[in-house]
Amino acid sequence: MEKAVRKYWPVFLLPTAAAFCVGFLYPFIQGLYLSFCSFITIDRAKFNGLENYKYALTDATFLHSFWFTALFTIVVTILINVGAFALALALTSKLKASNLFRTIFFMPNLIGGIVLGYIWQILLNGVLTLLEKPLLALDERYGFIGLLILMCWQQIGYMMIIYIAGLQSIPDDYIEAAKIDGATEGQILWKIKIPNVMPSITICMFLSLTNGFKLFDQNLALTGGEPAHASEMLALNIYNTFYGRSGPQWRGYGQAKAVLFCIMVIIISMIQLRATRSKEVQQ
């Protein structure tokens, strides 16, 4: 059978492979090369060695956006996972109308980042006006908190669904047996529920970690990086380096930043793969 299928590669393999080369492979390799060049259009790229990387690693806005992103990612990961797990616990406790609640909490996840960003910009600016505080785009701290609220609103429902699936897969016998043995609810939670949903916890932790780290649309729509690049996260910083300025050097700098960004994301994902695999062995 393998032989018969092998002959049909132009039908099965070629369309996707060709599109993949156009839509990913070629731009990726070209991007890698261009990070060592100075260019405005690709046809007229001039090789300039590690110049771009030197600039990227000393650029104050890039370093600031790195710390901003790192802090944001850590805080948002904790908030989302604690919130989502608490909701999942509440909704699996045989409550009235829990399906309705689940429907509502999950809903924001389907709305796109740009639209979400503007909805929350309008809402939060309204709240800030009522409190007689500066608007989102004028104060870095409010921009940070605003992004946190927005991301929690969007992602908690998603992670909650994954936690609910994890909690529901715990056999009822375990919990029944613990109850008969006189375990308190706290003990059931810490000794039975949490260890049994460890795979879900790993998945959710890393999903929110990568989502937070790669955040772009919401950042662009909610604060646009204002004031003066202070609320700019890595992805937006790269974008602004590319398209926000003119001059042959900026595109090269942007591409070098993008490569560094890509390496950071790959490292996070490698750790994720390790963590998920080691958890699978335990199960």
Partner 1 sequence: MEKRKSIKSKILFVVLLVISLAWIYPIFMIFINALKEDRSITTSTVFQLPTSETFAGLSNFVDALTSKGFAQAFGYSLLITVTSVALILICCSMCAWYITRVNSIISKILYFLFVFSMVVPFQMLMFTLASTADKLGLNTPFNICIIYLGFGAGLAVFMFCGFMKSIPLEIEEAAMIDGCNPIQTFFLIVLPILKPTLISVGILETMWLWNDYLLPYLVLDRKKYMTIPILVQYFQGSYGKVEMGPMMACILMTVLPIIIVYLVCQKYIIKGVIAGAVKG
Angle in degrees, 0-180, between the axes of helices 140-168 and 198-213, rounded to the nearest 10: 150
Which of 50/266 has CB closer to partner 1?
266
Tell me the DSSP string of 244-282.
S--SHHHHHHHHHHHHHHHHHHHHHHHHHHHHHHHHHHH
Q: Shortest distance, CB of residue 98 to partner 1, whole angstroms? A: 8
Q: Which of 238, 250, 253, 256 binds partner 1 (CB under 8 A)?
A: 238
Q: Which of 220, 225, 253, 256 binds partner 1 (CB under 8 A)?
A: 220
Nearest alpha carbon to residue 144 among 169, 122, 173, 124: 124
Tell me the DSSP string of 170-213.
S-HHHHHHHHHTT--HHHIIIIIIHHHTHHHHHHHHHHHHHHHH
Question: Site residues for partner 1, window 23-52 (CB under 8 A)?
Answer: 23-28, 30-31, 34, 41-42
Neighbours of 92 (CB within 10 A): 17
Contact pattern from residue 170 through residue 199 relative to partner 1, giving x for each residue in contact according to CB under 8 A and a dash for the rest: ------------------------------
Which of 76/113 has CB closer to partner 1?
113
Q: Which of 57, 71, 78, 107 binds partner 1 (CB under 8 A)?
A: 107
Q: Which of 167, 235, 253, 256 binds partner 1 (CB under 8 A)?
A: 235
Q: Shortest distance, CB of residue 70 to partner 1, whole angstroms? A: 15
CA–CA separation, 42 and 31 (whole Å): 10
Q: Given the rule CB under 8 A, which of 9-17, 62-70, 72-80, 138-146 is the region that contacts partner 1?
A: 9-17
Which of 76/259 has CB closer to partner 1?
259
Q: Count the residues of the shown chain that bind partner 1, applying the rule CB under 8 A.
A: 89
Q: Given the rule CB under 8 A, which of 18-26, 53-61, 62-70, 71-79 is the region that contacts partner 1?
A: 18-26
Kindly state whether residue 209 participates in binding partner 1, applying the rule CB under 8 A.
no
Q: Which of 53, 108, 178, 205 binds partner 1 (CB under 8 A)?
A: 108
Token pair recorded at residue 236: 């937006």
Contact pattern from residue 144 through residue 173 relative to partner 1, giving x for each residue in contact according to CB under 8 A and a dash for the rest: ---------x----x--xx--x--------
Token pair recorded at residue 188: 């059931």
Nearest alpha carbon to residue 194 among 62, 121, 88: 88
Neighbours of 182 (CB within 10 A): 7
Kindly state whether residue 138 participates in binding partner 1, applying the rule CB under 8 A.
no
Contact pattern from residue 67 through residue 106 relative to partner 1, giving x for each residue in contact according to CB under 8 A and a dash for the rest: --------------------x--xx-x-xxx--xx-xxxx
Nearest alpha carbon to residue 114 among 209, 219, 214: 219
46 beta partners: 38
Nearest alpha carbon to residue 211 among 167, 162, 255: 162
